[in-house]
Amino acid sequence: MYNKIAKNIIGVFCTIIIFSTSLSSGYAQSGETTYSVTTYISLGYSRFISELDDNDLDKNGLSGTIRLMWEPEHLLSIGIESGYLQLYNFNSKVSLGNENIFNVSSELTAVPILSIFSMEIFNNLKLSIGSGIFILLSNVDVLNNLVNSNQVSTGVLAGGSYLYPISHTISLGGEVKYYHINKIEDGDLTLQFSLQYRFLTY
């Protein structure tokens, strides 16, 4: 079910961005175009979207991302994004008899490394899509024996942001992003506070 939802979300975002690009390209060619290099730093809440259901499974976490974008005025912007996503934490007690009770815990986090395409469709409102890899970091603790493992998965991103300019170089606002990770066939929804810093314009 979540695979279909993810594909529909990405499809809608792609359609909107392509349509907006075709409308704005003619306007951009009519005058001088300004280029900029911009950094986006975002921090906030993360919610693991999965059919896994257990009272001991905590699907809430923190997320932090950083994005570097090359932004021609009125055109499609391109860049890269990385960061840290807390997907879930699991803590439970397992009983092997009246006196044998031990803790079992595990956590899964992800480090995305994505190529990003972004388009401003209205003033201060941008839509973004992306694809790339996710480095999945898993930690499992059973009977005080910690096991760490890493996996690499492909995945995609779709998101929208509203950033209000407070100066020529700095904007503040919020961003909603959905990440779909193919290997685990689940996703992560983030709601973040975002800072935009335009450090180079030419």
Q: What is the CATH number of the domain that holds 170?
A: 2.40.160.20
pLDDT tens for each residue of 62-113: 999 999 999 987 778 999 999 999 999 988 776 666 666 677 888 999 999 9
Q: Is 74 left (phi over 0), alpha (psi -120 to 50) or beta?
A: left
Sequence-distant (6+) residues with CB within 8 A of 32 are: none
Please count the structural domains in the chain. Answer: 1
Predicted TM-score (pTM) of this structure: 0.81
* Residue ranges making up the domain that contains 107: 2-201
One digit per residue, the tens of pLDDT, for the chain of length 202 reads: 555 555 555 555 555 555 545 544 444 444 566 889 999 999 999 999 988 777 788 999 999 999 999 998 777 899 999 999 999 998 877 666 666 667 788 899 999 999 999 998 888 999 999 999 999 999 988 777 788 889 999 999 999 999 999 999 999 999 999 999 999 999 999 999 999 999 988 8
